[in-house]
A and B are shown apart, each in its own frame.
Chain A
Amino acid sequence: MDKLQFLIAVSMALFALGLLGVIVRRNVLIMLMCMELMLNGVNLSLVAFAQQTASTAGAVLVLLIFVVATAEIAVAIPIVLLLVRRKHAMDLDAYADLKG
């Protein structure tokens, strides 16, 4: 297994673990953190490909993903704060009445 294959395998594992966390965990904040883990997995694959093909485009895309992740957290945390203030629970099952 060469280095690129290894890094891509690690990034796939990180993405899959993050997706598993989003699906199986109950706490809203932990689900948000697992989404960040998915973004990190994608970042690792972008960096690996950018370094292997010696192009700056992948690294620039990683920087843009950083900014998008920051914006996502900046919007998501106030939403979580409002939800918790309304129901006093961080468990997503408490918000089952949101389904149509």
Chain B
Amino acid sequence: MIETLLLYLFAGTALAAAALMIVLRHPMRVALALIGCMLSLAGVYALLGVHVIAIFQVLIYVGAVMVFMVYAIMLLDVGDRSYMQRFSRLLWPGVGALVVLLAILAHGVWTSLPEPTLAAAGKLFALNEFSVAFLNEYWLHFELVSVLLVAAVVAALAVLQVGRRPHG
């Protein structure tokens, strides 16, 4: 009972923080709202019993990605007042697209949701079992991901190198 209440609480907080991201003006406040949304989602994952994802949500998303983002905001925020205008000209087309997308998604998902199975998923996603299954079955994906990260680092360095050239 208390778990269900907490699940609704965390999901509601995540939705409220996501809605705040649309209406807040300053990028730093938007970043803080996004951090709140990600932390609530980590709570949802933990309540679902998928602890590995909850841990990595906090470590990678909040700890790495959002810290990077906050640093970028602090670097770029000098004297730029463009955030005072919140929305672009596309506000009403955007809202219309949102309504259409939600209607299509809701129709598509609700007509094809799988029957909930009552399997014991709690044991499956415990840290030990999940790690063993991950590195036994998905070791190739794991290695490919490290290649992707190296490519991303090289790409970031290359982008900065282009910026250093006088007319590059």
Using CB atoms and an 8 Å cutoff, list the residues of chain A in contact with chain B.
2-10, 12-21, 23-27, 29-30, 32-34, 36-37, 40, 43-44, 47-56, 59-60, 62-64, 66-75, 77-82, 84-85, 88-94
Contacts and interface: CB of A to CB of B under 8 A. Distances in A.
B82 A29 contact: no
B27 A59 contact: no
Given A68-B148, A81-B76, A93-B88, 8 more contacts: A5-B113, A21-B22, A24-B94, A25-B88, A51-B50, A52-B121, A70-B60, A71-B152
Contacts of A5: 110, 113
Given A16-B102, A48-B48, A85-B163, A91 B34 contact: no
B9 interface: no
Judged by DSSP, the binding face of A is: helix
Given A84-B76, A89-B82, A75 B30 contact: no
A20 B72 contact: no
Interface in B104-118: 105-106, 109-110, 113-114, 116-117
B88 A7 contact: no
A54 B120 contact: yes
A89 B80 contact: yes
A78 B160 contact: yes
Given A13-B15, A24-B90, A70-B65, A47 B53 contact: yes
A46 to B, nearest CB: 9
Given A29-B76, A67-B149, A23 B119 contact: no
Contacts of B102: 12-13, 16
A89 B30 CA distance: 18
B69 interface: yes
B162 interface: yes
Contacts of B153: 74
A69 B65 contact: yes
Contact of B98 (A3, A16, A70): A16
Contacts of A23: 88, 90, 93-94, 97
B45 A47 contact: yes
Contacts of A21: 21-22
Contacts of A91: 82, 85
Contacts of B133: 56
B48 A60 contact: no
Interface in B61-80: 61, 64-65, 68-69, 72-73, 75-76, 80
